[in-house]
């Protein structure tokens, strides 16, 4: 079911109360920013758009006692199909597709020949030893993709699936709120910063994954939401506490001692820092526009 725009409102309009009302009524919806306006989208169901417009005219701040007309609730509860979700989040989908392709080509890290073309430091395996090429040498040779390509590498199915699920959740939020190009720019910038952070943290090593980018996107949404509240960036408090708690736990070294392998703490910290900075800048700009 294709979405339709039912409301176009100034950015200064506070939609949080009305969005909470739609959530209570189980009305699928999303809010995007287009051409300096907030746009409220709902499924293209019979008479649903008119009902939502009338509802907003009567209760722009929301009301806990309101109900939709009989029969509308079942129709409104239809969720967008997976194909519609993919089409509305092209950058999120493309990044995840690239991760899946790289996972297949590198055999989830077991194909060293393919892996060496994507790691931050080029490397060669000599018996029981791994010999790394200085990053300055590879960059001087024009291999600039290494600055960002480690985000596509994953070591194991669980590593790939967990990172993919979180990127799908956070990436789509940013793509809806700020647009595809901004998500692409954030992803590349955070990846580069987090990869350099890991390199300076532990020196030449084999590392990869979207987790550094995920911490960056988490920090971006967190700080952006504090400065310019928007329902799309509203994350459950438990999610933030869990992610930050996991970061601290990994930095203690306990997770590695339990046999989960080496954790890229430098990438996590670096990603979180740059994500908070971008969230601060983006949130300040959005607040100023309001």
Mind telling me the catalytic residues? 211, 268
Query: If phi over 0 gives left and psi between -120 and 50 gives alpha, with beta otherwise, what is residue 27?
Result: beta
List Cα–Cα distances, 199 to 128, 137, 183, 193, 221, in angstroms.
Answer: 22, 15, 24, 10, 25
Angle at 190 between CA 189 and CA 194, to 5 degrees: 120
Task: Map tokens 């029981």 to a residue.
Answer: 128
């Amino acid at each position: 079911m294709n979405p339709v725009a039912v409301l176009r409102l100034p950015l200064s309009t506070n939609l949080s109360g009305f969005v909470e009302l739609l959530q209570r009524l189980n009305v699928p919806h999303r809010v995007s920013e287009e051409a300096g306006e907030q746009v409220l989208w709902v499924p293209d169901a019979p008479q649903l758009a008119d009902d939502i417009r009338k509802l907003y005219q009567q209760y722009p701040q929301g009301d806990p006692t309101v109900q939709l007309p009989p029969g509308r609730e079942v129709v409104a509860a239809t969720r967008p199909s997976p194909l519609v979700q993919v089409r509305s989040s092209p950058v999120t989908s493309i990044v995840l597709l690239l991760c899946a392709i790289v996972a297949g080509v590198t055999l989830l890290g077991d194909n060293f020949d393919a892996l060496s073309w994507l790691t931050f430091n080029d490397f060669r395996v000599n018996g029981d030893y791994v010999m790394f090429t200085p990053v300055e040498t590879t960059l001087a040779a024009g291999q600039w993709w290494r600055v960002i390509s480690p985000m596509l590498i994953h070591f194991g199915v669980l590593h790939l699936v967990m990172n993919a699920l979180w990127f799908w959740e956070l990436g789509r939020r940013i793509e809806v709120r700020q647009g595809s190009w901004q998500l692409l720019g954030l992803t590349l910038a955070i990846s580069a910063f987090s990869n350099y952070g890991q390199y300076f943290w532990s020196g030449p090593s084999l590392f990869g994954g979207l987790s550094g980018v995920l911490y960056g996107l988490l920090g971006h949404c967190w700080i952006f939401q504090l400065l310019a509240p928007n329902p799309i960036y509203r994350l459950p408090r438990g999610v933030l506490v869990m992610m930050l708690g996991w970061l601290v736990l990994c930095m203690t070294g306990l997770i590695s001692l339990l046999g989960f392998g080496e954790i890229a703490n430098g990438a996590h910290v670096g990603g979180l820092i740059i994500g908070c900075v971008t969230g601060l800048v983006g949130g300040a700009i959005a607040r100023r526009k309001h």
